[in-house]
Amino acid sequence: MNTPRPTREQIARARVLVVGDAMLDRYWFGAVDRISPEAPVPVVRVNRAKEQERLGGAANVAWNARALGATARLLTAIGDDEHGHRLEALLAKSGVESLFKRDPRMTTIVKLRVIGRSQQLLRVDFEEEPDHEVLEDLLAQYEQTLAVSDVVLFSDYGKGGLTHIPRMIELARAANRAVLVDPKGSDYERYRGATVITPNRAELAQVIGAWSSEAQLHERAFALRERLGLGGLLLTRSEEGMSLFDAQGHVRIPAQAREVFDVTGAGDTVIATMAVMLASGLGLREAMEHANRAGGIVVGKFGTASVSYEELFE
């Protein structure tokens, strides 16, 4: 790889602030030996000894930044419930500095995946849309933490935690901090002024419409970038690699996945790697090269996972 790469020391000095919707990922593993007589579905005999819990959502993004060696802080709101306490414990073990708002009116989001024969058979989501502003009283803490961070990364899962993202982006840009956004929904106006947003193909199509050619994609992507005042738009294209639309034009790199085992959380790894690289002094195009490689490594792992400095560079 000819792209400049940061040293361990440079990454150790990088400070990434992650803001967004954190959740708990649970995995139940079991044997699948028969089809149910009640309905045409497999019967999974769950082995409780093999249950796993992992960081999900914005918490997984922060963990990915920490796994590379950077300082990672997570600003989020969770429920004051059993799952929230489990999430806290996992974050404490991970080395991510957690800035929680424990809200008794919230339910901590849980994604339960049932696995049989090394395949995901079912995902069950436990979540409730918050009926109030969950991060409004964290704006002061956000500003304080922003002052000791190099970049801020917004992990938007559309769960209601980023209602105030336009104001947060405004504060970050005023402080001359790079802003990365993993977007959700069709209203990208709220991400105006970001350094880079990282939609996948389906997410971008929601905003600019389905494209019938590369030329049409380029025209619409550049128009969106211009309209929102973005530094760059990084389109993740799965097996087709990545495309970056920036002030210099367009650059595309092929996917580097050696074997795709599980794409769960791959987008988290990509944007976390981008954030760490930018915080270490690299530009968008250089950061994209490393993020593409990290994404190729993590899809070869099971479930929400991370990539270490050794895996990425050595």
Cα(257)–Cα(237) distance, integer angstroms: 12
* Nearest Cα to Cα of residue 276 among 312, 250, 240: 312
Cα(114)–Cα(303) distance, integer angstroms: 11
Cα(224)–Cα(213) distance, integer angstroms: 17
Q: Is 268 a catalytic residue?
A: yes
Q: Rounded to a whole number, what is the largest CA-CA distance in the chain?
A: 62
| DSSP strand pairing (151-155 vs 119-126) | unpaired
Which residues are catalytically annotated?
268
